Amino acid sequence: MLKTMPTITRHKNPLGDISVLYVAVMARAIRAEGADPTDLLGRFGLDKQALREPEARISIPRFMRMGQAAIGLTGNPALGLTMGQLSRPVDAGVAGLAAQCAPTAGEAINTLIHYALLTSRNSRGTPWTADGGREAHFYSIKPYNVFNFFVVDSVLAAWTQFLRIITGQNKVIERVTIEYPSQDQDDVFERWFGCPVRFGAEGNSLRLAPGIREAASLQAQAAMYEKLSGQCYRDLLRIRAGWSTGDRVKDLLPPLLQGDTPTLPAVAEKLGVAPWTLQRQLADEQTGFRELVDETRRELALEYIRETRASLSEIAWLLGFSNPAAFHKAWRRWFETSPGEHRKKYLAEQAAKGIR
C-alpha cells in the first residue's frame, strides 16, 4: 500500500500552471490547421465554459500533453509557430493589454515579460529581458522531448508576433536561439522569424532587430499604460502576499536544483539578505534550509513521477541528486515504495478513471 502523499498548499501545481487564455490560443491554432479541437479539449477536461473563466488555470504538464496531442491531431510539428502567429496582446491578459500601451517596443516587451507570472508560473524559472529590452529570454525547460518543444516555439513566436503587432513591422528580430536540438524544421523557423535561428544553443532567446527597441508602439497610450501597469504591479504583490520566508526560499529552489544542490548563501543572495539573516528568519519559522530543500524535492518528485513522462534519471537530475540511485533512496524514505512502482500504480488508477 502506498504511503499517504503530502498535501501541498503553497502551490496547487508544484510544477507550475498556465492560464486557459493560452489553451484558447492553442484551440485557435488547431482550427487554423483545419482540425476541430472540441474532442481534444474534452479529453483534458475543458469546454467552452472553462475557456471563459479568466482566472482558470491548468497544470504545466497537462498543457504540454495537450500540445503534443494537438500536434498529433494537426500533423504540424511546428504548431507552436501557428500559435504564435495567432497570438494577440489580450491573450496575455492584463499584462498584454498594459504592454501594448507602453511608449516603445522595448518598454512593451519588458512589461509583457516582467508580468508573465500573472498568467503563467513554471517551477523551472521565469523569463527575463536584457540590454534594456533588446533581448528577451525564455528559461530552460530541459530535458527536452516531444511534449515540450512546442512550448519554446509558441513563447518565442508569441513575443515576436507581439512586437510585429505593436510596431507594424514584420522584421522585428535579428537572431533567435533555441536550446533544444534541430528537429529538421530549420527552414520553416527561419522563414517564420525572418532571421537566422540557431538550434542546440545555450538558451532560448530573441534579439530585437536594430531600431525595434526604440520604435514607438502603434498602441501607445500613456494614461492607460500607467493604469494597467499599476494593476499588474498590485496583482503581482497579491500573488506573493502572505508568503513566509520559507515560501520565498522554496519558490527559488526548483531551477537551482537542476543538476546541483543549492546552497544557503546562493539563495540568500537571490533574496538580497545575508546568509546568517536568512538562517535566523528560517529558524524563527521553525524550519531550516536543508529541510526546505528536502520538502521541495519531495513535492516536485511526486509531480514529476505522476504528471510527466520524464525518466527516473531525468527526474534525478532535475531534483539535483547525484545519480538515479540517490533519488531512488530518497523516494523510499519519503513514500516507502519505489518511484517506478508508484508511477505504474498511479497511471493504472488514472486510466481506470478515464483520466489522461
pLDDT tens-digit series, residues 175-213: 999 999 999 999 999 999 999 999 999 999 999 999 999
pLDDT of res. 11: 57
Listed in sequence order, the residues at least 6 apart from 90 whose beta carbon sits closer than 8 Å to its beta carbon are 96, 97
Q: Has residue 351 got a pLDDT over 90?
A: no
Classified as helix, coil or strand, 104 is strand
Q: Has residue 45 got a pLDDT over 70?
A: yes
Listed in sequence order, the residues at least 6 apart from 271 whose beta carbon sits closer than 8 Å to its beta carbon are 245, 248, 249, 252, 278
Distance CA 110, CA 101 (A): 12
pLDDT of res. 9: 42
| Beta strands across the sheet bearing 57-59 | 57-59, 16-19, 120-122
Distance CA 268, CA 279 (A): 9
Of 3.30.70.360, 1.10.10.60, 3.40.640.10, 1.10.1200.10, the CATH number of 245-352 is 1.10.10.60
Distance CA 247, CA 217 (A): 38
pLDDT of res. 349: 87
Beta bridge partners of 137: 128, 205
pLDDT of res. 51: 84
Which pTM does this prediction carry? Answer: 0.90
Closest to 82 measured CA to CA, from 17, 143, 34: 34
Residue found by looking up cell 504583490 in the block: 237
Least confident of 49-53, 62-66, 96-100, 229-233: 49-53
Distance CA 34, CA 26 (A): 13
Distance CA 132, CA 122 (A): 24
Residue 78 grid coordinates:
511546428
Q: How far is CA 74 from CA 65, 71, 269, in A?
A: 14, 5, 46
Q: Has residue 3 got a pLDDT over 50?
A: no
E strands, the chain, are 16-19, 57-59, 120-122, 128-130, 135-138, 173-178, 197-199, 204-208
- pLDDT tens digits, one per residue of 81-107: 999 999 999 999 999 999 999 999 999
Least confident of 2-6, 57-61, 116-120, 297-301: 2-6
| CATH 1.10.10.60 in the chain, residue ranges | 245-352
Backbone angles phi, psi at 119, to 5 degrees: -125, -5
pLDDT of res. 241: 82
